[in-house]
Structure 1
Amino acid sequence: MESKKIRKFKKIIILLIVLLIISSYFNYQYYRYKQKESYKYEIFLNHFYFSVNYSINILDEILNEQLISEQLNKKIMRLVYFLNEADHLLSESAFYIEGVNSRGTTFFKLVSNVISYGTEYEGNKITAFLNDYKINQSERAYLSELKKYLEDIHSKLYSDETGQENPNISKYVFNHEIIPSANEDYILLNQYINSK
């Protein structure tokens, strides 16, 4: 009788050990997965932060220097490049980073398109900023408002501790408090129209 209990007890112990080993394996795999996700998110934040940072620097040059013809066009093309980079990061992030939302067309893409191709807004034709090799008053107002948006994003991403992006920003905060909604581009368009 006693030996039956001992055998049964040994079987239970062996079963528990096997379950513990299996559980440990899956917990370790899950831990590695979460670490990789965290690492990918940190890299994403870093690249996004620098796209915004470079855009602000270029806007400073465009708005504060007397650039002419080719110099101005090169700066505007660089600005469009970094706006498109921010758009690409946001658009593609949902495919490789869990929890970062892609909401279709982004604010950055809409702004980039207005600068590159122009648009029509409330019956007003807005031409591409590259058309005449100079920044007019309306374009300056648009770019100044864009700079305010980017500076706001930059300040929310910035960490005094790292001197650049804060790697501890949650995905919720990033999605809902940092990234402007695509339809907020109307504020920039209103600045353009109202400064004529």
Structure 2
Amino acid sequence: MSYIHGYDPDTLREQVVAHECLERLDEIGEKRSLPALLERVWLLKVLDRPDDALVLAEESVRVARMAGTRKDLLRARILHASVLQVRRAFAAADQELTTCAHEAEGQGWSAIAAFAYQHRGKVHYDAHDFDAARADFKRALFLRQEAGADDAQLQTTLAAIDAADRRRARVAS
């Protein structure tokens, strides 16, 4: 079940129904598997609990490093960086996402690289660097097309490109 019911056209944040996310958080409980940790991080992030999300994000990176695959570790690091973004630690998030994107591209993992670029674009967007945001969203779109992403993912990226264009135009005028 997807808890995302859309994206805010101005902030690009996920739109969720809080009680659905809280119910899922209760269902997961204190499970320690990597998928459960990652889901809990995301739920805490979208519920606007970034401090709690950061603690679990750091734990998920450690678990992925010890017991996961390289892909698992990249996913955990990207999620960790997205929590840093919400906490407005843009430089740290940018650095982590850049490293993840380059590693994923080097391995030929287009979908993971696209995920990293999409999130790095959001970091730039939040930091009001709309040219860099647009470039990252365009790169994510290309990689998602290459990976055979579904229409919903492509539409999300196209909407992000449009949002960056609108914000660039507002700043320019």
Answer whether TM exceeds 0.5 for this pair: no
TM-score by length of 1: 0.30
Larger radius of gyration: 1
TM-score by length of 2: 0.33
